[in-house]
Amino acid sequence: LGATVILANTYHLYLRPGDERIARLGGLHVFMGWDGPILTDSGGYQVFSLAQRRRIDADGVTFRSHIDGSEHRFTPEKVVVIQENLGADIITCLDECAPPLDYDYNVQALARTHAWAQACKAAHTRRDQALFGIVQGGIFPDLREQSARFLTGLGFDGYAIGGLSVGETKAQMHTVLELLDPLLPADRPRYLMGVGTAEDLVECVARGVDMFDCVLPTRLARNGGALTRTGRLNLRNARFADDPGPIEPGCTCYTCTHFSRAYVRHLTTANEILGHHLLTLHNLHLLLTITRELREAILTGRFQAYREAFKQRMANGE
């Protein structure tokens, strides 16, 4: 598929099989058989999603495992130790992803996020790992600006943008990115967390973003969903039952060059895991292809033309 970096989840790997076991086995690269760069998130998003199973205080968060109910605690220092054990190339600070529309709570959460960023930076010992700070602040311009200035003042290897695609509108997300664009260093990577539709890639790159992660390609695939250059398809729909064509005409992915819409629909409606795999391959292929095209368009000075053509295709639909 041509992916150059992959993400692994700190929360899930900490619980199972355990960061210390992975360290004993040589780190994530050896454990997974992946010789390219690996990024780990802090696990904070998953912990804070456990609304009924966690308690937050100034020093960290106590939570119960979604697997067996056992109690655990994440502090900034512990999250850094876990990620250093995992051995990823890029690691991230513990942060609090607050509800995007509650100003008063965002003020409190941002104070914790900034204190934890300082603690993570102080605890960071492996200089072969890049440490990213995470900008928070909901949809509020003053808080986002405060966060960007505070974190750039500390000085990180890159800057993640968290707390977006969690309920706000696309217009609100774009406004936040436009605000942050001139505030974040141009010579450091900018990583937009949890965002990754085809349209998002194009529009957020236009607003200064370099890196994305998102579960969408696999989540859609599990439900029969396919991404295309003209929108999404639900392969479970009856209209695809006798369709001999590929998911997307002209697509060069393994799925489209070997199988029909009718066959993939059969697999998904029969709940065959192969259907999930084939749709995941297609969805990832499309997003990675678009990413390469965006990079090439920027390098050749054609980005704006590419963006307009992309938007026109989406507007026209299938």
Q: Which residues are catalytic?
A: 41, 213
Judging by beta carbons within 10 Å of its beta carbon (0-12, 13-18, 19+), is residue 67 exposed, middle or buried? exposed
Residue with tokens 């991404």: 227
- What does the alpha-carbon distance between residue 312 and residue 56 come to, in Å, rounded to a whole number? 46
Q: How far apart are the first and last CA of the chain?
A: 24
Phi, psi torsion values for 290, nearest 5 degrees: -60, -40
Q: Go through 148-178 and write b for each residue having 16 or more CB atoms within 10 A of its CB, e for each that does not.
A: bebbbeeebebbbbbbbbbebeeeebbbbbe
Distance of CA 257 to the CA centre of its chain: 28
Q: Please answer whether residues 278 and 226 qualify as being in contact, where contact means their C-beta atoms are separated by less than 8 angstroms.
A: no
- What does the alpha-carbon distance between residue 11 and residue 78 come to, in Å, rounded to a whole number? 12
What stretches of the chain adopt beta strand conformation (E)?
Answer: 6-8, 38-40, 54-57, 60-64, 71-74, 90-92, 130-135, 158-161, 190-192, 211-212, 225-228, 231-234
Helix ranges (H only) for 124-169 are 141-154
Q: Which two tokens stand for residue 163?
A: 């707390």
- What does the alpha-carbon distance between residue 15 and residue 7 come to, in Å, rounded to a whole number? 17
Q: What is the total residue count of the chain? A: 318
Residue with tokens 């084939």: 278
